[in-house]
Amino acid sequence: MSEQGEQEVQASSVRDIPAEAFIKAYAAHLKTNDKMQLPNWVDIVKTATFKELGPYDPDWYYVRAASLARKVYLKQGLGVGALRRQYGGRNKRKGVVPEHFCRASGGLIRHILIQLETLGFVEKHPGSHGGRRITSQGQRDLDLIAGRIEMPKSIVC
């Protein structure tokens, strides 16, 4: 029983968990696992051209990798171009100049996907459009992390 008197329920897959809770838990797992190696340029890179500075969080690379793994889990066949659009945004600090949409950095997304491929969690989609899909080992790993997260019953129902 939690402090509010609600029962806690175990989730069985990534779809049952809120995105923020899963990404935080999976990023911590990737960081402690030590299989994913940080590149040398991780502290100087920006995540998109419209950004002025790089991320403040020192673990942002693991968070982005966890987010990418979750997105590929939820929708098979996503490629770098589609992920660039999903992680894109607008520059809000241009004064009177109108904002317009810009895509995220493709090299960064590609680098993370390649690392997830070397870990065996993601593979290239065999379809005609390409993209990536989750492997059985990757699905097992992500579901295992999702099963460890306890959620209040009110969120699940």
* Phi, psi of 33, deg, nearest 5: -70, -30
Predicted pLDDT of residue 11: 65
Q: What is the pTM of this model?
A: 0.85
CA–CA dist 48, 128 (Å, integer) = 28
pLDDT tens for the chain, 157 residues: list them: 445 555 566 667 888 889 999 999 999 999 998 888 888 988 889 888 888 888 888 899 999 999 999 999 999 999 999 999 999 988 877 788 888 888 999 999 999 999 999 999 999 998 788 899 999 999 999 999 999 888 766 655 4
Query: Residues 61, 105: contact at Cβ < 8 Å?
Result: no
Q: Count, in order, helices (H) and strands (E) of the chain.
A: 6, 6
